[in-house]
Structure formats: C-alpha cells, structure tokens
C-alpha cells in the first residue's frame, strides 16, 4: 500500500462519460489499497474557450483576472470527478489550488510553485477519502489565484507527489507513453519503456508537450518516478526516472521539434563590445525569450548575428531590432517565420562520437539545408526550412533506428519528394 498521484489531462476528462471512466480507474487504485490524489485538467478545449472569451473583450486582459478565469476549468472537472467517485461509492473531496495549499510566486500565467502545505489533502487521505485537485493553479502570497502555464497540471501532479511523498506519479493522457517522437505526427514512432529525466527534459523543452518541462525539472529535483500512460487503455506506459548505466547504450532516444520558432538575422553588425549586450538586454526587458543565438566570426569590423524567438514574439522582436538598427549601425535585418527546429536527444551522445555528423549527413542526403545548429551535452538541434519538416523527422527517425520493429522490417518507405 502506498500513495499514488494520478493526473488526467483534458482529453481524458473531455465529457461526462470520460469522467465516469476516470472515476472507475481511480476507484480501482483505491480498491487495491492505495491512497490516491487525482489531479485533473480542464475538459478538452475549455481553457482555449476561456482564453477566447477574454480576448473578445481585450487583447491584453489583466493578469489577476485572467488567472482566475483560466483556473476555473480545472475546478469544474475536479468537482465533477469528486461527484462521480461519490456516486460509485468512493468518498472523495475536491480541492482548488488554494485549498490544496499550493503556494506560487507572483509570475501570473506562468507561476512557479514555491511550496505546498497540503494539510487538507493529508486530512482527507487520513479519513480514507480520494483527494481530487484542480490542476494548473495555486495562489500567490497575496492569496490571488495564479496559473502555472499551459500544460501546468503535469507540474501540479509532480509537485504534489514530491510534497506528499508519493511512491509514484502517473500522468494519464491520450497516448500510451513517451514515444521516440510525436506519434500523432510520425506514425513510425515507437513507445519507449524508459527515459531518463535529462532526456525527457530536453524533449519537453524542445516542444514535446506530453509533459510540461517544469514538471520534469521537479521530478528530477525531487526524484519522483513518473509513469506516462494512456487513460484509454491498460497498456504499460513509459517510466521517466533516474539515468541507468545501460541507457547510454542507446545513442539517440528521441527526436523533438518546435514549429513555433522564428528567426531574426542581422547582416552587418559592428563587431565591438556591448552590441550583443544592447540587443539581448533590450529583448529581455521586453520579456522576449531568445532561444538559439549564432554569431559568425567578424570580418572587416563587421559580424552577422542570427537568433530565434517564438512566433508570437516575432513582431515585437522585429520592431525592437528596427528601433536599434540606427543606434547600433546594423546594415540589414531579416525575419523568417517559415522555419522549424528539429533536434535529436540521447544520453548516449556523451559517450559516442559522430552523432552530430550522422544527423547532418542524413539531412544532407535528404536535400535539407541546415540554417542554424546548436548543441548541448545530450542534444543536437538544427533549424531548417519548415517545408522539410516531415521529411527531416522521418529520415532522422530511420537514420537513428528509432522506428517500430515491425515497420522497420516490413514497411516500404515512400520515396523522397
């Protein structure tokens, strides 16, 4: 007997039938003798609907009101699930983020959890109840409701598991586990039995939304084993856990991509101290997150600089660069939203050579030009033109032997365009 935290995402609680089904699954765990905390997201589409309503009123809603609005989705589901559990004879109690004692910082819309008191949850568990917590929310030190950023219910679940000393945190979603790449886009993707925190962290931060990045950071920090599995079947999922020695034998575990980046290039920028500082300080002050940065070696006192930002931030970044152009003496500025980032990830890269070379070779063979490259210890990312996206992902998948066995051996690949 132990304590299990289960999280159910939006599609898993999309309607009353699904909520009934979730209640049955949760009841099964309770019946087996475990204590259970369930974290629920808003019903699928609800959060977007709420965002849409606020945006009908104004483009920039007040942060405090916006967070209260968005937090309501998870509350509705938590109450409905508690009712569903009670209906089938299992005592249950729902909790908002505040009632669960989830205290965050003041960064509304993307708040970080500072601590979890959790007394009321402990009390409910002690009384034999199932605790149902509204995901993706907490309160700040002034008691205003805060939300944890899109996908934040994953983080609520892992944080509760860490704070209450759960034995396992299960993330129930609409896929069977963590795949070598997004199975909804690449049918050849293969489910992984295990993946290390570091690899999952890279995949998540590169855009694999199956787990919110912050949830993986917390899981790693507090050593919470996370099992990603489907809420629609009983298939074994993927265990996200500490690195084991044999994980290094697999050079590349997965491929991630991000279609939401855009590129800003400056051709001809004075090669002197303070220029990069001025550009990136101004972007940072405008709350623009910069991802990749590449500067070439200066020639004749001038250099070229390229960086990427999210597509939403591109207009703002372009405007800022335009304003700085004269002051800094930049010759030309180009923006390009028609790009995608693809990346290979694997802890085995630490001990194997030639991994980047193989990636570049694979892209070259497919006729894909690489526009930018960046690496970390366990990742190589490339920016390429968006039109090559699917081709690149498929070819990389093949090159690194990531496909499903059956498919690998039986399927004839369509010829390249």
**Angstrom distances, CA of residue 95 to CA of 101, 160, 276:** 9, 12, 47
State yes or no: residue 254 binds ligand ASP (CB under 6 A): no
State yes or no: residue 138 binds ligand ASP (CB under 6 A): no
**What minimum distance in Å lies between the beta carbon of 328 and ligand ADP?**
39
**What minimum distance in Å lies between the beta carbon of 200 and ligand ASP?**
17
The site for ligand ADP (CB under 6 A) is made up of: 9-12, 41, 151, 173-175, 178-179, 181-184, 203, 208-210, 254
Q: 3-state DSSP call for residue 207?
A: coil
Q: Closest CB to ligand ASP among 230 and 295?
A: 230
Task: Tell me the pairing of strands 290-295 and 370-376.
Answer: unpaired
State yes or no: residue 183 binds ligand ASP (CB under 6 A): no
Contact 232, 172 (CB under 8 A): no
**What minimum distance in Å lies between the beta carbon of 152 and ligand ASP?**
5
Q: Closest CB to ligand ASP among 73 and 177?
A: 73
State yes or no: residue 47 binds ligand ASP (CB under 6 A): yes
Which contacts of 122-130 are long-range, i.e. CB under 8 A and separated by 24 or more positions? 122/164, 124/93, 124/95, 125/3, 125/35, 125/37, 127/91, 128/91, 129/91, 129/92, 129/93, 130/26, 130/27, 130/30, 130/36, 130/37, 130/38, 130/82, 130/85, 130/90, 130/91, 130/92, 130/93
The partner in contact with residue 135, picked from Mg ion, ligand ADP, ligand ASP, none with C-beta cut-offs of 5 to 8 angstroms by kind, is: ligand ASP
Per CB under 6 A, the list member of 27, 42, 204, 359 interacting with ligand ASP is 42
Per CB under 6 A, the list member of 26, 35, 37, 41 interacting with ligand ASP is 41
The count of residues interacting with ligand ASP (CB under 6 A) is: 12
- Report d(CA 258, CA 337) in Å as an integer: 12
What letter does residue 348 receive in the DSSP assignment?
A: G
The site for Mg ion (CB under 5 A) is made up of: 9, 151
**What minimum distance in Å lies between the beta carbon of 119 and ligand ADP?**
28
Contact 39, 82 (CB under 8 A): no
Q: Closest CB to ligand ADP among 77 and 99?
A: 77
Q: Closest CB to ligand ASP among 70 and 262?
A: 70
- Report d(CA 337, CA 324) in Å as an integer: 20
Contact 39, 135 (CB under 8 A): yes
**Angstrom distances, CA of residue 223 to CA of 49, 127, 343:** 35, 28, 26
Binding mask 143-172 for ligand ASP (x = CB under 6 A): -------xxxx-------------------
**What minimum distance in Å lies between the beta carbon of 174 and ligand ASP?**
13
Q: Which residues bind ligand ASP (CB under 6 A)?
A: 10, 41-42, 47, 73-74, 135-136, 150-153
């Amino acid at each position: 007997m132990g304590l299990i935290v289960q999280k159910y995402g939006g599609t898993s609680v999309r309607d009353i039938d699904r909520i009934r089904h979730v209640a049955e699954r949760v009841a099964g765990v309770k019946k087996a003798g475990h204590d259970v905390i369930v974290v629920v997201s808003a019903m699928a589409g609800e959060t977007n609907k709420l965002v849409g309503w606020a945006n009908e009123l104004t483009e920039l809603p007040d942060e405090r009101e916006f967070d209260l609005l968005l937090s309501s989705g998870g509350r509705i589901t938590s109450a409905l699930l508690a009712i569903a559990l009670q209906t089938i004879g299992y005592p249950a109690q729902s909790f908002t983020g505040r009632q669960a004692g989830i205290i965050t910082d003041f960064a509304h819309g993307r708040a970080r959890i500072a601590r979890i008191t959790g007394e009321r949850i402990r009390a409910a568990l002690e009384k034999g109840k199932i605790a149902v917590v509204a995901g993706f929310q907490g309160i700040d030190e002034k008691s205003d409701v805060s939300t944890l950023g899109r996908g934040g219910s994953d983080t609520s679940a892992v944080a509760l598991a860490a704070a209450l000393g759960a034995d396992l945190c299960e993330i129930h979603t609409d896929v069977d586990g963590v795949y070598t790449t997004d199975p909804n886009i690449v049918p050849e993707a293969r489910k992984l039995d295990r993946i290390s925190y570091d690899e999952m962290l890279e995949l998540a931060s590169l855009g694999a939304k199956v787990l919110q990045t912050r949830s993986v950071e917390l899981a790693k920090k507090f050593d919470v084993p996370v099992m990603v599995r489907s809420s629609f079947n009983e298939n074994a999922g993927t265990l996200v856990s500490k690195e084991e020695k044999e994980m290094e034998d697999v050079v590349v575990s997965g491929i991630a991509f991000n279609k939401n980046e855009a590129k800003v290039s400056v051709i001809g920028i004075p090669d002197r101290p303070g220029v990069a500082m001025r550009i990136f300080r101004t972007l940072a002050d405008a709350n623009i997150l910069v991802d990749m940065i590449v500067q070439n070696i200066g020639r004749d006192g001038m250099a070229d600089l390229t960086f990427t930002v999210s597509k939403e931030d591109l207009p703002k970044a372009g405007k800022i660069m335009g304003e700085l152009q004269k002051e800094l003496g930049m010759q030309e500025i180009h923006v390009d939203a028609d790009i995608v980032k693809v990346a290979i990830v694997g802890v085995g890269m630490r001990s194997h050579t030639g991994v980047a070379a193989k990636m570049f070779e694979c892209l070259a063979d497919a006729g894909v030009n690489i526009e930018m490259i960046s690496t970390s210890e366990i990742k190589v990312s490339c920016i390429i033109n968006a039109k090559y996206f699917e081709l690149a992902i498929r070819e990389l998948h093949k090159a690194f032997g990531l496909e499903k066995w059956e498919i690998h051996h039986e399927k004839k690949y369509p010829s390249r365009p």
